[in-house]
Structure 1
Amino acid sequence: MSPLAGLATAHRNGTPYGITSICSAHPLVIQTAIRRAAASKEKYLLIEATCNQVNQFGGYTGMTPEMFVAFVLEIAGKGLDASRIIFGGDHLGPNPWRGEPAAQAMDKAEAMVSAYVKAGFSKIHLDASMGCAGEPAALDDELIATRAARLAQAAETAARAIGSALPVYIIGTEVPAPGGVDHAINDLKPTEAAAARRTIDVHRDIFAREGLTDAFARVLAVVVQPGVEFGSQNVVTYNPEKSQGLTGLLDEQPSLVYEAHSTDYQSRAALTALVANGFPILKVGPGLTFALREALYGLDLIASEMVADYGDRSLARTMERVMVAAPGHWHNHYHGSEADLYLQRHYSYSDRIRYYWSNPIAVAAVDRLRRALDGVAIPETLMRQFLPTLPARLGPAGNPEAIFHAAIGAVLADYDAACRGG
């Protein structure tokens, strides 16, 4: 049985457990997650794609939902049975087309949800919270729920058309926007319990009005703001006392838990507390590629020291050229002087450099780094200097891939521990 089905019961019985939601399309991240899942014989792996990342038009990855599933399953190969992979769709709604009139954007959102379900995505986050052209940025609860019900109907119809199991759903959205904010965060308040209650009640009523009572019974979780977030330069850590109202609300909603977004960079203790307090679905994405970038740049410095014809920080310099030449993924998110922008492009917690690793020039630069260090025994002293958070013993093995996977795996280890109760 999917671990998603037992989350609410486990929380209610005082035996909570969690599940990590991997929100990344980077092949090294997917590979690491699959390897860890394969090593844990009873573990399911939850991998999610977002509406901007993957949609019927390709999204910024160039992948449709069907292509994304094929991409993940190809990486899994014979190492992890497909039945152990749960595919989730995140923020599925009109967000990619919010610059268009609502009718047009919702038509596209319906088609996207249908494509996700037909591709094999079984966990669907219905998010119609954003205003479209001519609408306010924040919509009222009734309109959001009405549009969410419309998207749920599209999902139900698609599932029945292919004879698959009916999806489970997540409702609600967090504040600030997914992916982290673009400034330092000084004050972040968790969602008020009354607001979360209203979200649940309005969705339940409107789903019933639209003949979707059975679909609402498959709503597993609500996205709220538990008081965790990361900006470009700082992280707001979880404070259990501030979310007590939200935790208490679950006593009134025994079939529901919360889904925690933007948990990247939280400590193991904070993640464990989130699971214990009713936030057992822990979404992480930029934190994984941030750790990978740290490993790549550390090896870039090591290659600069050890390999005669490698050059001085060849990878970092290439990434700077790639990002400056195509600023679309960062220029509206990073602010300040040229020196500030440089640091944010490479080192921001928002990790918007992650959008550029699939650029052919970036791929070639990473491959060149791999080749430069393949089989090269890195002294432990250089590992301590440039990759001090990773085991120094990895260096002498001369295996860059092992270092990449160790960096990503160190992050996932905190999530795995938290999901087991610490």
Structure 2
Amino acid sequence: MHLIRDLITRHKNGDAIGITSVCSAHPLVIEATFKHALRVHAPLVLIEATSNQVNQDGGYTGMVPADFRKFVETIAEKTDFPLDRLVLGGDHLGPNAWTALSAEEAMTKAEIMVADYVRAGFSKIHLDCSMSCADDPAPLPERTIAERAARLCKAAEQAYEGDPAGAPAYVIGTEVPVPGGAAEDLDTLAVTSPEAALATLDMHLTLFRSSGLGAAWDRVIATVVQPGVEFDHMKVVDYRPEAATALSDAIVPVDHIVFEAHSTDYQPPEALAALVRDHFAILKVGPGVTFALREALWALDAIERETITETKRANLRDTAIARMQAEPGNWQRYYHESGDALGLQLQYSLSDRIRYYWPDAQIAQAQQQLFDNLREHQPPLPLLSQYLPVAYAAVRAGEATLDPIDLVVAHIGATLDAYHGACNPDA
């Protein structure tokens, strides 16, 4: 854990540096992350799984924490990325996956999950107990949230059996609205007040110490706040530094703790750089990279339509839309349009609910057929320039081949470039 703690120490000592946290379970996104890190000589890679993606019940990926670690490490080895530069994190670890249960039942399951993450070697643990369970008031009182976070921290500490120098680092707090982008259209967005941010820290500190977790508190590296960045289905709220000046200043005197910014997806490079400068030193990205994945796959589908005879086409795009319509469980609570407007949301919403569908057997088969078709009939450079100009430039520069995976990885890499530049302004 010393890698990320050392980075936070450098930031607290005045270096305007940060770290990108890639929150995705898609193998092509993870492959792109490792290849990008090798290309830009990044000192470490931070990849996180959420409590909904990965838990002891399998989450929506079907993986328990140990499975996810093996999954990520296999991709790292495939790309020749050194495992000693890989940090795994657990995001929004708490009762989120079990809010239909009573608070006690959900917290018991959350304790098991957090312990499993720690035993599996995840060393950055975000304790998030902000969500109400079946028998809870809404919203939860701040003290209840902090008490539950301390309870989960104790479970994590008890599960860790390694070298004390490698004990887990913790992140506390949560952003508003919920993870993954706003569920409704954005009208206004309030920046967390300095008073609220400091009160959260003080309450957690008090409860951690009263629970015998003083040593764990020394390993709290960040708190999650709302810096004024968010996205909904079709809009992005960009970071405005002047609106967050007081919040930014408030964390400066707080020892060993920075801000972690969620929902930074789709922020322009200059906004990302300003966030890191203003002590939001951990930048989370999830839908932003899977949105780039979908862009690349749709572009390859368009190239296929122009180069492959109709009877042999994979028709990935049509297959994915049909499967989303047949199995609406992952989007129907969020998308409320109908007709053509719904079609736009299914494909192009910035919340990117399509990311839940890539493991679907029919979609995966269509993707594989698309890749096979384009390996047999390589895309002509003019079509590559038309549909995937970033990948075209990488091919022309000798940095990518015409293999479909290389083209997808190059396109995702453009999103990661903006984050790397923000987190490493002097690189």
Q: TM-score, normalising length from structure 2?
A: 0.94
The equivalent residue for 1:21 is: 21
The equivalent residue for 1:74 is: 74
Report the residue type matching 1:19 in the other structure: I
Q: Answer yes or no: is 1:210 the counterpart of 2:211.
A: yes
Contact 1:11 1:276 (C-alpha < 8 Å) held by counterparts: no
Aligned pairs for 1:357-376 (under 5 A) are 357-376=358-377
Aligned pairs for 1:346-365 (under 5 A) are 346-365=347-366
Aligned pairs for 1:3-402 (under 5 A) are 3-41=3-41, 43-77=43-77, 79-160=80-161, 165-309=166-310, 314-391=315-392, 394=395, 398-402=402-406
Q: 1:411 aligns with which of 404, 415, 422?
A: 415
Residues 360 and 312 (structure 1), Cα distance of their counterparts in 2 relative to 1, 3 Å cut: closer
Q: Distance in 2 between matches of 1:89 and 1:16?
A: 25
Contact 1:231 1:350 (C-alpha < 8 Å) held by counterparts: yes
Paired residue secondary structure (1:71)? helix
Greater alpha carbon shift after TM alignment, 10-19 vs 143-152: 10-19
Contact 1:375 1:398 (C-alpha < 8 Å) held by counterparts: no
Report the residue type matching 2:403 in the other structure: N
What do residues 27-60 of structure 1 show as CA deviations (whole Å, max 9, x unaligned)?
0011111122334556111010000000001000
Q: Distance in 1 between matches of 2:423 and 2:330?
A: 32
Report the residue type matching 1:293 in the other structure: R
Contact 2:56 2:64 (C-alpha < 8 Å) held by counterparts: yes
Paired residue secondary structure (1:191)? coil
Q: Distance in 1 between matches of 2:46 and 2:386?
A: 35
**Any stretches of 5+ residues in structure 2 without a counterpart?**
none
Contact 2:314 2:370 (C-alpha < 8 Å) held by counterparts: no
Percent identity for Structure 1 against Structure 2:
48
**What is the deviation of 1:321?**
1.2
Q: Distance in 1 between matches of 2:137 and 2:346?
A: 31
**Any stretches of 5+ residues in structure 1 without a counterpart?**
none
Residues 22 and 100 (structure 1), Cα distance of their counterparts in 2 relative to 1, 3 Å cut: same
Q: Distance in 1 between matches of 2:201 and 2:311?
A: 57
The equivalent residue for 1:420 is: 424
**What is the deviation of 1:16?**
1.8
Number of residue pairs matched?
Answer: 422
Greater alpha carbon shift after TM alignment, 198-207 vs 301-310: 301-310
What do residues 293-352 of structure 1 show as CA deviations (whole Å, max 9, x unaligned)?
111111101110111135678111101111111111001011122222111111110000
Residues 69 and 98 (structure 1), Cα distance of their counterparts in 2 relative to 1, 3 Å cut: same
Q: TM-score, normalising length from structure 1?
A: 0.95
Q: Distance in 2 between matches of 1:329 and 1:240?
A: 34
Contact 1:258 1:281 (C-alpha < 8 Å) held by counterparts: yes
What do residues 374-421 of structure 1 show as CA deviations (whole Å, max 9, x unaligned)?
153433332333234543563995421211011111111111111112
Residues 312 and 188 (structure 1), Cα distance of their counterparts in 2 relative to 1, 3 Å cut: farther
Contact 1:276 1:421 (C-alpha < 8 Å) held by counterparts: no
